[in-house]
Amino acid sequence: MMTIEKILSKIPIELCQPGDYEIWAERFISPEVMAYISGGSGSEISLKRNRQAFEKISLLHRALIDCTKGTTQTDILKQQLRHPVLLAPVAAQKLVHPEGEVATAQAANAMEAGMILSTLSSTLLETVAEHTEATKWFQLYFQPDKHATLNLVQRAEQAGYQAIVVTLDTAIQTLSPRAQKLGFTLPQHAQPINLAKKISTQPTILTPTQSVIFQGMMTEAPLIEDIAWLQAQTRLPIIVKGVMHSKDIEQLLNLNIDGIIVSNHGGRALDGTPASLTLLPTIRRQVGEDFLLLLDGGIRSGYDAFKAIALGADAVCVGRLQIYALAVGGAKGVAHLLKMLRDELELCMALTGCSTLNDIDRGTLFTEERT
Amino acid sequence: MMTIEKILSKIPIELCQPGDYEIWAERFISPEVMAYISGGSGSEISLKRNRQAFEKISLLHRALIDCTKGTTQTDILKQQLRHPVLLAPVAAQKLVHPEGEVATAQAANAMEAGMILSTLSSTLLETVAEHTEATKWFQLYFQPDKHATLNLVQRAEQAGYQAIVVTLDTAIQTLSPRAQKLGFTLPQHAQPINLAKKISTQPTILTPTQSVIFQGMMTEAPLIEDIAWLQAQTRLPIIVKGVMHSKDIEQLLNLNIDGIIVSNHGGRALDGTPASLTLLPTIRRQVGEDFLLLLDGGIRSGYDAFKAIALGADAVCVGRLQIYALAVGGAKGVAHLLKMLRDELELCMALTGCSTLNDIDRGTLFTEERT
Amino acid sequence: MMTIEKILSKIPIELCQPGDYEIWAERFISPEVMAYISGGSGSEISLKRNRQAFEKISLLHRALIDCTKGTTQTDILKQQLRHPVLLAPVAAQKLVHPEGEVATAQAANAMEAGMILSTLSSTLLETVAEHTEATKWFQLYFQPDKHATLNLVQRAEQAGYQAIVVTLDTAIQTLSPRAQKLGFTLPQHAQPINLAKKISTQPTILTPTQSVIFQGMMTEAPLIEDIAWLQAQTRLPIIVKGVMHSKDIEQLLNLNIDGIIVSNHGGRALDGTPASLTLLPTIRRQVGEDFLLLLDGGIRSGYDAFKAIALGADAVCVGRLQIYALAVGGAKGVAHLLKMLRDELELCMALTGCSTLNDIDRGTLFTEERT
Amino acid sequence: MMTIEKILSKIPIELCQPGDYEIWAERFISPEVMAYISGGSGSEISLKRNRQAFEKISLLHRALIDCTKGTTQTDILKQQLRHPVLLAPVAAQKLVHPEGEVATAQAANAMEAGMILSTLSSTLLETVAEHTEATKWFQLYFQPDKHATLNLVQRAEQAGYQAIVVTLDTAIQTLSPRAQKLGFTLPQHAQPINLAKKISTQPTILTPTQSVIFQGMMTEAPLIEDIAWLQAQTRLPIIVKGVMHSKDIEQLLNLNIDGIIVSNHGGRALDGTPASLTLLPTIRRQVGEDFLLLLDGGIRSGYDAFKAIALGADAVCVGRLQIYALAVGGAKGVAHLLKMLRDELELCMALTGCSTLNDIDRGTLFTEERT
């Protein structure tokens, strides 16, 4: 098992910020794969907004507070996490590194970071589970047939995953235009090995009298009764990823869902949505102070994690960054990334006078007066 | 007659978004023609605003709604349309493709899309009408002499056009500076064949004591009594394109006009006007909920169509996109374009929980709170 | 004397917008001279703002109004002007064309445009006056000694100038950094021939105990009593150019000054001031509806002239454009420029339903609602 | 000793604005050193904001006021300053010029400018003090051990420094990513010679169970009792640099601290803070009209100095500009820089009608009306 010391040895000096992995990744993976990972849907409006939202937030430096007892520790779903940065569920990680999700799990374990494994993992979920003792959750896409869905959930339970994360924003999922234009297809070795059959990335052929969307894809989209069904099937807490409308959230709160990940799927689902950070304050207000709320989308630094927490998140997820680091350095890369994120978060906390995550509130932010 | 299958075969993979046709068009038409089509008047302020207005609007994703009965169908002027995207009237289509307006009509027919034929068509209006069974309207420029105007209207009626679209924003129409600078002139084969005599694109020579504008061009601009006169001449509904001022609209409402197309002529008329999208909410408020309102200007995707509908439009028109697709692929290109626009619109509807166009309202949009 | 026909013959097709003269001017004058003309003071913040202010304003197209009696005619100081676009006072015009101010006067005469001759003219003010029968005003810089100032005013009166324009914003005037860096100096043939002695462009040498600004240049800046003195010396109306602060304006109104040109000296005086267009509405409110108010700064088109008038100006002045056109085409260039500006203004008027300058008010502009 | 005349001789014509020294500095120092000086922390958000804040402020030109008694003189802490521009404390000045802080002190002396010497000076503080008779303050970083801190304070007192400037915003200080990526390390000749032992720029090694930030660096951060302790040790006034939160300021006001320098450490401390200029008005309101408030961060001209004073500063500090000028021209460069800054400030004062620094208030600024 890796030690932090080993992880940090021989990291090139140029990799000194989390975002540096994005630049380096281009040397390690092909343009098609880079397009697949980095691209967004439509005109990439949501993708851009995810970043811009963070740049607009202002932090207020604070001195004269004793932070020597500071810690980033937090309890989420009764599990203790060393820090509030989780690895978001990302499909097909063998696409960028031969060890794929196993390497990611090793990094999560070494850094005691939470990991969310995708339904579309290119490694058996049981194998991944063996490589990390830290918090691990299983991300679930509802399958066309309920037995297949149930089978996934039961396997996740047995393998020791501690929560189910249901993704609701990709009833319709297509390749980003960037990836389409470069002819990207998912190679054999990165197929979703946990599913009974392969998921096709080919566009469905339309006939003039049918809508491939309404009468096709939407027939498989889970509804509120499906979430209720899922609750009945598992003892695990259920977290929903990818809801932003107050009416969706209201329905989920009525079901006593266990948490929400505020997300626009990294700008890969409906293009034109606000940044997930922009949505956060409104959603926090709706769900109340004690409800579990995570943020995903646009995180490129520990500064961003801090801002998300100040605006209402309990923790954040990193998706693309994780994959860039995996591509560049495998387990070591991901671990180093997590370390940098935590260091930057600690730096923000220390310099804003926050000893715990609870101290990170609106008072740490600055809003310009209108003169 | 084309089938959708045939249309979609051999479409290059790079043409996967409506806007891609703009990029490709440059390979198919000369710089002068490209300048003529893409350019705007003045400093192209309105042209740019048309695009920027769409980029500022935010959509709210919605899950947990059953959309399996979804449809883009709509009734406009008692005619049923398969989808709310119409082909805007664009002059001189033989400029970019030898089959010109006939190819456009074939695409409209194949995709069951509404088509608005320009007075300045390079094909006889009767010939165009033969090629589409879908909704077709005739766009009318008032001619210097009433008989000529009446003749056009009567021919349109007889040829089966179902509405007259009177354009009011081009009392003064000049080539865009971009096109002027490249020396663009309309070639012989693209002249307005439906008119008695050719329309000159030469600048009129001014004498010191006259204004070519006030005492020249403005003498031919239609006034409210001309619209009333037109109503008396035809049994067809009359839609007015290119009015934005509340006082103009008030006069037209007093005449019980049948509909309005909110437009700034694609940034080709008075430069400095707001984006047509920006004008839409105010105009919808003035005309009331049930009045027929279409939007033209800046539509580059089905996402844009969705946004326009959410802000008050019943349907949208595409002008430049249509011509780019025609230049690249003739009837096939235009049909493919229409298909992509409809698919994107359906995607937006499905992911915002809208089963019908009526469901697309302000509640599907996000407005950031001021903190 | 030039006829309009002659002016317009052989104008290259690329010169179809007023701003085109700026691009062309670079081929006719040296980089140092171009820097001298185009540059602004400091960091050129005011220079940029002058342009940006116009781009933010939105016009509302208007149809259905009879404009066939339209005219741009206006009365200013009891003189009739054919159109509300004047040639701003610009120094040293022989710098860019051997005929200098004489060519400018010929163009003004041909186009019946008002002209304001600079104190720093490179041609004798009497000679210039001989070349135009149109409105002509004399711009006055107070001279270090009152007799010299009076001498200029009396010569202007005798030569037939119809108003004195006192410039107040250049108590401290230095070359723009752009011009300084290219080593620009005013050549012999472009010196201010109307002054007794040459004006130096060399920086004054400071000693440690003196301020070249406070105890140097500011000793020559005119105060309110100097304006009063000037009123007593001449029967001509006095217009003040370059005041923007309400307290300055209040003092001038108390003196019954005849008019104000709102200006930031084209971004060549105090850097960091607002665009003159931005200042206009506030100043119009202070001076009242009937007071003569002109705008100078940033005008690059007839659209801009329209916007300025809509926001409160009675007329506008063009400075840099005039010099670019002079450099490119001498009298013919300036006349062509004036013609294009007038044509664009007429186009804006016709398309916003304004038959007279008085019709151009706030109702022709659009202000976006806050949703 | 240098005379102004000698300083100004042979200054290249291209160096005509303070900011020009930044461009020139690149020719005099290596890319690593340039990165070290110019870089900011994190994503350089604060760094950019420092500049943008100045560009948004608008000045109002004022004529008709007698400024011939104008002066930039001011009293700060009962010392008279010729002008309100001070040299900010910058570490390791021998990095860019062999004479380092001695040259800076010579320039300060020649221009009668205040100088703040950094704890991390590469020259003995006693040596620096010998070279300037003008106002000089000593910037203090609290040392890990109180005796070392006290020793520095006592040496500063004895050497004639007139105030202690305690910096509070760099409890955690790392090299900027830009400098890290180029492998910058502080060379031997630029080490902090006034400290007992060298300060390491190596990143501290983390073990999995410790936070190098909370349990490491933060243990050395001074708290309010340390400031109180310092007050008891010295008769010198104490100014605090780098506090922005109202609660920090409140604690310092309770201690009757003598002044505050509003600063975000030039964007080198916590990234994401507002521009120091943006913070200024709120802080001025909190501390009251008579409290000593200086601004540091983003000053690139005398215009900027004016804007800061108008928004509440009593004086401003220049950091990076000072080092660029030192790199380019040694003492002569810094003196020339100070002269240009003062000239520009005087120009702004004269053209806004301000004869003294007290006259520079909000009334000299323009705020656009919302229409």
Tell me how far apart the alpha carbons of residues A212 and A235 are, in angstroms, rounded to a whole number. 36
**Closest Cα in chain A, distance from residue D268 (Å):** 12
Mean pLDDT for chain C overall: 94
- Residues composing chain C: 371
- Burial (CB < 10 A; 0-12, 13-18, 19+), residue A345, is buried
Q: How does residue A206 score in pLDDT terms, banded at 50, 70 and 90?
A: low
Q: Which of D83, D97, D131, D265 is catalytic?
A: D265
Q: Do A208 and B4 touch (CB under 8 A)?
A: yes
Q: Do D180 and A366 touch (CB under 8 A)?
A: no
- pLDDT value at residue D127: 98
Q: Is the model's pLDDT at B204 over the cut of 60?
A: no
Rounded distance, CA A276 to CA C33, Å?
Answer: 52
Environment class of C175 (CB within 10 Å of its CB; exposed 0-12, middle 13-18, buried 19+)? buried
Q: Cβ distance A33 to A173 under 8 Å?
A: no
Q: Give B305→chain C minimum CA distance, Å.
A: 20
- Closest Cα partner for A350 from B134, C71, D170, C125? D170
Q: Would you state the pLDDT for residue C206? A: 56
pLDDT digits (tens, 9 = 90+) for C254-289: 999 999 999 999 999 999 999 999 999 999 999 999
Helix A320-351 and helix A31-38, axial crossing angle in degrees, nearest 10: 50
**Considering only CA atoms, which of D38, D219, D203, D49 is closest in space to residue A17?**
D203
Nearest CB partner across the interface for C63, out of B207, B243, B273: B243
* Residue D127, C-beta contacts closer than 8 angstroms, at least 6 positions apart: D101, D102
Q: Look up residue A107 and give its two tokens.
A: 């990094």
Cross-strand pairs, B106 = none
Per-residue pLDDT tens digits of chain C, which is 371 residues long? 455 556 667 889 899 999 999 999 999 999 999 999 999 999 999 999 999 999 999 999 999 999 999 999 999 999 999 999 999 999 999 999 999 999 999 999 999 999 999 999 999 999 999 999 999 999 999 999 999 999 999 999 999 999 999 999 988 888 999 999 999 999 999 999 999 765 444 455 656 677 889 998 998 899 999 999 999 999 999 999 999 999 999 999 999 999 999 999 999 999 999 999 999 999 999 999 999 999 999 999 999 999 999 999 999 999 999 999 999 999 999 999 999 999 999 999 999 999 999 999 999 999 875 44
How far D243 CA lies from chain C's nearest CA (Å)? 29
CB A297 within 8 A of CB A320: no
Contact assignment for B218 to C70 by CB distance below 8 Å: yes
Give the amino acid at B30: S
Nearest CA in chain B to C371: B367
Distance (Å) from the alpha carbon of A219 to chain B's nearest alpha carbon:
6
Interface test with C, best of D347, D365, D367 (most C CBs within 10 A): D347
**Which chain C residues are closer than 8 Å to B252 by Cβ?**
64
Dist CA B156 CA B129 (whole Å)? 9
Euclidean distance between CA atoms B221 and C347, whole angstroms: 13
DSSP run (H or E) holding A115 = strand A115-117
Give, in order, the Cα–Cα distances in Å from A165 to each of A109, A131, A157, A259, D364. 20, 20, 12, 9, 58
Asked if chain D contacts chain A via 3 or more Cβ pairs within 8 Å, the reply is yes
Among A218, A251, A285, A368, the strongest candidate for a mutation testing the B interface, having the largest count of B CBs within 10 A, is: A218
Q: How many CA atoms lie within 13 A of A32 on its CB side?
A: 9
The 10 Å Cβ neighbour count of residue A103 is: 26
Amino acid at D32: E
- Say if the Cβ atoms of C343 and B172 lie within 8 Å: no
Strands (DSSP E) contained in D58-198 are 58-59, 74-76, 79-81, 85-87, 115-117, 136-140, 164-167
Contacts D59 to C, Cβ<8 Å: 270, 272-273
Phi, then psi, of C181 in degrees rounded to 5 = -65, -25
Provide the shortest C-alpha distance from residue B302 to chain A (in Å). Answer: 10
Helix (H) or strand (E) segment spanning residue A86:
strand A85-87
Judge whether residue D174 has pLDDT over 90: no
Sequence-distant (6+) residues with CB within 8 A of A331 are A2, A99, A102, A103, A104, A106, A107, A110
Say which of A58, A349, A353 has its CB closest to residue D272. Answer: A58
Count of other CB atoms within 10 angstroms of residue D286:
14
- Residue A251's identity, in one-letter code, is Q
- DSSP secondary structure string for all residues of A45-73: HHHHHHHHHHHH-EE----S---TT----
Instruction: Single out the residue of A52, A40, A85, A121 nearest to residue A294, CA to CA.
Output: A85
What is residue C208's predicted lDDT score, i.e. its pLDDT? 63
The residue of chain C nearest to residue D71, with distances taken between CA atoms, is C214
∠ CA B308-B314-B317, rounded to 5°: 65
Taking each continuous run of H as one helix and of E as one strand, the counts in chain B are 13, 12
In Å, how far are A307, C37, C252, D335 from A56, measured between CA atoms?
A: 10, 38, 44, 38
Exposed / middle / buried, residue B68 (Cβ in 10 Å: 0-12, 13-18, 19+): middle
Reported ipTM exceeds the 0.85 cut: yes
Q: Do A61 and D183 touch (CB under 8 A)?
A: no
Please choose, from the candidates A141, A235, A237, the residue with its C-alpha nearest in 3D space to the C-alpha of residue A194.
Answer: A141
| Angstrom distances, CA of residue A304 to CA of A271, B342, C100, D212 | 22, 37, 60, 20
Asked if residues A265 and A191 have their Cβ atoms less than 8 Å apart, the reply is no
Considering only CB atoms, which chain C residues are within 8 Å of B367? 371
The separation between the first and the last C-alpha atoms of chain C, rounded to the nearest angstrom, is 57
DSSP H or E run through B81: strand B79-81
* Interchain CB distance below 8 Å, C205 and D67: no
Please tell me which residue of chain C has the smallest CA distance to D12.
Answer: C181
By C-alpha distance, the chain D residue nearest C179 is D14
pLDDT in tens, D298-334: 999 999 999 999 999 999 999 999 999 999 999 999 9
**Between chains, do A64 and D248 touch, taking CB under 8 Å as contact?**
yes
Residue B5 has what pLDDT?
A: 59
Please return the burial class of C55, using the count of CB atoms within 10 Å of its CB with bins 0-12, 13-18 and 19+.
Answer: middle
Closest-CA residue to C35 (of C172, C181, C174, C201): C181
Residues D49-58 have a mean pLDDT of: 97
Give the phi and the psi of residue B123 in degrees, each rounded to 5: -125, 150
DSSP B88: P
CATH number, domain B16-62+77-186+223-356, options 1.10.760.10, 2.40.30.10, 3.20.20.70, 3.40.50.300: 3.20.20.70
How far apart CA C28 and CA A273 sit, in angstroms, is 51
**Which three-class secondary structure state does DSSP give residue B136?**
strand
Identify the sign of the CA torsion B219, B223, B227, B229.
Answer: negative
Write the DSSP string, A6-32: HHHTT--TT--STTHHHHHHHHHS-HH
State how far the alpha carbon of B368 is from the alpha carbons of A51, A278, B361, C85, in Å. Answer: 16, 7, 17, 43
Mean pLDDT, chain A, whole residue set: 94
Chain B nearest C-alpha distance from C290 (Å): 26
Instruction: Name the nearest CA neighbour of B101 among B88, B82, B84.
Output: B88
Active site residues of A: 265
CA distance B303 to B53: 13
Better pLDDT: B163 or A220:
B163
CB B33 within 8 A of CB B96: yes
d(CA B331, CA D360): 69
CA nearest to B48 within chain C: C55
The residue-averaged pLDDT of B284-292 equals: 97
User: Would you call D224 and A57 a contact, using CB atoms and an 8 Å cutoff?
Assistant: no
pLDDT over threshold 50, residue D250: yes
Cα C30 to chain centroid, rounded? 23
- Which tokens go with B261? 């197309």
pLDDT, tens digit, 9 for 90 and up, residues B45-79: 999 999 999 999 999 999 999 999 999 999 999 99
Q: Which of D52, D173, D270 to substitute to test the interface with A, most A CBs within 10 Å?
A: D270
Contact check, Cβ <8 Å, B273/C61: yes
Best C245, C248, C263, C311 residue to mutate vs chain D (most D CBs within 10 Å): C245
Tokens of A12: 């090139």
Confidence check: pLDDT of B201 > 80: no
Other C-beta atoms within 10 Å of A226: how many?
Answer: 16
Q: In 3-state terms, what secondary structure has residue D58? A: strand
